[in-house]
Structure 1
């Protein structure tokens, strides 16, 4: 990997064709989509505007490879070796992937170099190493039977990937699905397709059999809907918005009753108690818990619940950290805060900021577009105080660098506020009391609870939520098994010994 302090070099070639089987293919219609750089607002390149015909070809390639058995029936040790070869190739191309991700998303290059690409590598290697450690079960049958259960790959997996962490979210789905022997069709967001396309190319170069990993670009209503409605796709794995997740469930019902795994975001509470001994540390975590990746994180700690006795002091500490997080050129290694993904997303965040002011929240910092002269889509870190938990800012996922501060008086009130949400993805708390930590960990309605640290889990722990944050889990060994069916086998014998 290139040194974190070195300037980024733009690749001479940007991926611009879908990967279907062994081919790099334009859209069957000949139509294309403009791909913009969020940091400048200028066009990077064009991408295929894939639709039903392109999805049909990709699904056919994936199905042929699955049924042919070249990947599904490969010995586990060899499948592991192939996936590790892909990981080695990705590591060798790490700087290229980091720059592509920054160009495509507006993330700071320091983040794509230090977080996105390394975590994608960790994910790929974790699941590669898990392949020859997947065991079935032997049933306690009588002496006249041998009963056992095995994990059978589902077949063709469709993955629809979001724009906020395009490479990492793709890998969270690709690595466990292909580790289990499935074939895949990946539909990246049309706003951030470059790393998925390059990964599809790299997989072929590293020796993954053609058709195991297909990548088709296009919009959600065209390519995404075609994938979700396809009669020969066995599962859709999706990360994105609630409305799209609901539509995918309809598509599954309207087609072949394919399985659906949904991760749909959250409105995560970040709870700070007065007894935590290091409020400066907590303030750093609170600020980065909402401003990291420009607030475009499904687990963003967008609601700060702070005990009233330290409310004023703690908010000032958070504001002091926030003032050091200044939007800058995403390709500059010194930049901490990059661009919002698109002008449409930026405008939507600004609308929610204006509504919060109309509803009476106190704007303490930011709230305005930044670096307008760059042509990019930048927003200053924004903090609202005295937010009512019933207000839109506390109820709706903003998906931008906007923090809502809500004071509380008692632990009981903090728990009620934290759980008073339609979502349930993540929760965090800072306390010096093991009793408070344990009690809240049991009672918070969220798929992930972090105590005295935010976003503290890793690839070994499952990722997913409760309620309208969706269902199914990414990461950990649990993710492997959602891409497989349990098959029970019973062999009856007459025996050679008398009863």
Structure 2
């Protein structure tokens, strides 16, 4: 129950609406600029404070291949920086195509010859549950690494995101022994059944804005369904993935099942997306880079690709909305995680009857936002408002974008809510709330916001193949 409460409370964990994608060329690192280009310190007082020393050391900076931490084949490293100060946290192994080849070979062998796909489902379940227990045990260290490397508030990482990570793996552990096919009636004396089998080696590329949660969204369903994995971290935030991967091996995950490559998009990312021995791709990042990933997957071995891409989510405030509640949630929808959210409520449509009241209260709320060192307790970190007259207008304007990830609707009228729910061309609609993410709730977009769904039962199908089995029946008692 506690984990459910966490997932409801702020389980507001999303991929970036435009993080610099893991496949784009590397750019310059700038001192006090956040990962998405938003200045994290916008007051003299905050900038002048002495940065708090993170309560953690960096235990792993190498690549994880075949169960062992190893240097990049080239010997090269790159710097990961503290976004508060621009100072170097650590030098991390820079994987490239040769390292991807090594990791894919390990994953291929682990799938074709290793025990993981052949383990009884309840044994896979036990390992995933133990992983979650170890994450709980090391909650504070993992959260500190996430904040240090990413810049998000420590309270958010420690109280929401790390517990949600563990919750997600417990959720997928619960599915491990409940995946099965069907018995299908046929026109004739045949026994027909379907089998759901793991797809093979999954290549996964995650962004920098939610490093831990994107790891869980992708790795969880892939492991529960018996696949092996090569995951490429974002070059800006490699540290937490390397840390938790070690915990997975402590929990008993066989060698080669989970491999972690830190590196850059044009080298490691492109090599993974185009690899002929990768059976499945999953990518979170920008729409532009998603097109590249899709093309590389198609041109290589026509591997299926799940894409979770950008969004421009409308936040719709109707004339009968609770304005105080709508202002508070509009503020959260835009500013959560420094605004570095794929489904951030970046377009706010306010009915003209409450527009002036909403704008005044929104200005007052924004002025109270606390900004400073993310390791300091109480630190949190503009929407543009558009008046509208009627539902037809706001529906048309909300849908007038190439994206379709999410939307928020604020009204006390159930008929208004139902009209908007069905008219908005998006993958998620929140009614009188925003950014609610539970392990069981699917997430994904319409239009250019992506292909497929992550989390929930729908995510399992991303990593499964369906096989039909037909056997003749002689003298059947019934058909």
TM-score, normalised on structure 1? 0.84
Aligned pairs (5 A) from 1:16-95: 16-95=61-140
Tell me if structure 1 keeps the 8 A contact 2:196–2:467.
yes
Q: Which of 323, 341, 350 is matched with 1:306 structurally?
A: 350
Q: Which residue is 2:417 aligned to?
A: 437
Find out whether 1:446 has 2:422 as its counterpart.
no
Distance 1:124 1:182 in 2: 15
Change (3 A) 1:315 1:19: same
Aligned to 2:56, the other structure's residue is in SS state coil
3-state DSSP of counterpart to 1:477: helix
**Inter-CA distance 253–496: structure 2 relative to 1 (3 Å threshold):** closer
- Select 1:331's aligned residue among 375, 378, 383: 375
Indicate if the aligned counterparts of 1:8 and 1:109 stay in contact, CA closer than 8 A.
Answer: no
Provide the rounded CA distance (Å) in 2 between the counterparts of 1:269 and 1:260. 27
Tell me the alpha carbon deviations over residues 98-135 of structure 1, each in whole angstroms, 9 at most, x when there is no partner. Answer: 00100010000011012211111111110001111112
Q: Report the counterpart of residue 405 of structure 1 in structure 2.
A: 385
Q: Cα offset for 1:498? A: 12
Structure 2 CA distance for aligned equivalents of residues 68 and 8 of structure 1? 46
Q: What residue number does 2:31 align with? A: none
Runs of 4 or more consecutive aligned structure 1 residues displaced over 6 Å after TM superposition: 496-499
Question: Of 251, 256, 276, which aligns to 1:211?
Answer: 256
Q: How does 1:85-484 map to 2 (within 5 A)?
A: 85-141=130-186, 144-276=189-321, 278-337=322-381, 383=382, 403-484=383-464
**Quick one: higher RCO (CA 8 Å, sep 6+), 1 or 2?**
2
Unpaired runs of 5+ residues, structure 2, are 3-51
Q: In the superposition, relative to structure 1, how do residues 484 and 54 fare at CA in structure 2: closer, same or farther (>3 Å)?
A: same
Q: CA deviation at 1:9?
A: 4.8
- Cα distance 1:329–1:492, how it changes in 2: closer, same or farther (>3 A)? same
Secondary structure at the residue paired with 2:229? strand
Determine if contact 2:316/2:349 at 8 Å carries over to the other structure: yes
Q: CA RMSD in A?
A: 1.7
Instruction: Please report how far the alpha carbon of residue 243 of structure 1 lies from its aligned counterpart in structure 2 after TM superposition.
Output: 1.2
User: Structure 1 unaligned runs (5+)?
Assistant: 2-6, 338-382, 384-402
Residue 495 of structure 1: CA displacement?
3.9
Deviations 1:406-449 (A, max 9, x none): 11111111111111111000011100110100011010010001
Mean Cα deviation higher: 152-161 or 10-19: 10-19
CA contact (8 A) 1:14 1:45 kept: no
Question: CA 1:434/1:496 → structure 2, altered by over 3 Å: closer, same or farther?
Answer: closer
Q: Is the 8 A contact 2:189 2:476 kept in 1?
A: no
2:196 aligned counterpart, secondary structure? strand
Structure 2: distance between partners of 1:129 and 1:200 = 20
Using structure 2 for the length normalisation, give the TM-score. Answer: 0.87
Task: For 2:231 and 2:106, locate their aligned partners in 1 and report how far apart those are by CA, in whole Å.
Answer: 13
Q: In terms of mean alpha carbon deviation, does 259-268 or 9-18 score higher? A: 9-18
Separation (CA, whole Å) in 1 of partners of 2:122 and 2:362: 50
The CA distance in 1 between the partners of 2:53 and 2:461, in whole Å, is 39
Q: Secondary structure at the match of 1:30?
A: coil
Contact 1:83–1:124 (8 Å) recurs in 2: yes
